A and B are shown apart, each in its own frame.
Chain A
């Protein structure tokens, strides 16, 4: 299965979805006006990946900013991952937030309370 690799832009994050390594990475800023358009390929990819996931899937979310439009799409991604986890596969989410960024920590905790996958909250220096 082919990986998705995308460079970040001022309004969209960098993306690495690597089936072989079981790595799902979203990094940077996610503030497009229409996030559905941006996230659709990743949601579709996960649908396919779910049929034959790696023994362990590591999910790294390291966002500086994200808008409410993206927050729904990120939830869609987590729901796909939750299904993979529910089918007895190892899935772990690392949620990175910058020092003192309580809003970003809280956003991670909001997802953690909705989605049944283990979350690790990781504080990083600015």
Chain B
């Protein structure tokens, strides 16, 4: 896969400290990039949601995976291609959750901008935060802010787990 210019790549544990560090790094990198400030803000915002989605949704991994990977293993790549920035994340999910996740992304991808706006407001107003602070709004917010369809794949790892890869795209605005 051609990943374009990689701005940042990480694999390992997704912790609060890691998220803080990644955001600091990307912020300083964005300062040097010649693009509209609105694009920089979108990249930052979408990266926050992508990382926090990982943070909130990484399943506890069984011993055999923990030996090979970290307990809260996730992957992140931020890259720049011709007309867009790509934020790619990956994490293990329990096979039982795959269908629900696919359905959610497919549903979000099928909505128009107005429908997304309504869905965002509905979930904001009606769904309670989980104990960890997740609100079920991350993917909707990403779709709303980027205006682009998300791409995903699931790779079977073993009978219990699949590896979930999500790509989101922020369109470049030439200045």
Whether A associates with B in a native complex is yes
Given contacts A33-B133, A37-B133, contact A114 B45 (CB under 8 A): no
Determine the distance from Cα of A37 to Cα of B117 in the docked complex, in whole angstroms. Answer: 27
Find out whether the CB atom of A101 lies under 8 angstroms from the CB atom of B133.
no
What chain A residues lie within 8 Å of B56 (beta carbons)?
33
By CB atoms of chain A within 10 A, which of B42, B44, B48 has the most?
A: B48
For chain A, residues 50 to 108, give those with C-beta under 8 angstroms from any C-beta of chain B: 65, 67-69, 71-73, 75, 100-103, 106
Report the count of interface residues on B (CB-CB < 8 A): 33
Q: Do most interface residues of chain A lie in helix, strand or loop, or is the interface mixed? A: helix
Q: From the candidates B20, B132, B145, name the one contacting A10 in the complex (CB within 8 A).
A: B20
**Closest Cβ of chain A: how far from B5's Cβ, in Å?**
24
* Interface flags, B16-42, vs A, CB<8A=1, else 0: 100110011000000000001110011
Determine the distance from Cα of A75 to Cα of B48 in the docked complex, in whole angstroms. Answer: 19
**Closest Cβ of chain B: how far from A93's Cβ, in Å?**
16
**Closest Cβ of chain B: how far from A103's Cβ, in Å?**
6
What chain A residues lie within 8 Å of B121 (beta carbons)?
110, 113-114
Q: Told that A33-B55, A34-B133 touch, could you supply 13 new A-B pairs with CB distance under 8 A? A: A10-B20, A33-B16, A33-B19, A35-B133, A67-B52, A68-B137, A69-B134, A72-B128, A103-B41, A103-B42, A113-B121, A114-B121, A126-B37
* Chain B interface residues (CB < 8 Å from chain A): 16, 19-20, 23-24, 36-38, 41-42, 44-45, 48-49, 52, 55-56, 117, 120-121, 124-125, 128-129, 132-135, 137-138, 140-141, 145
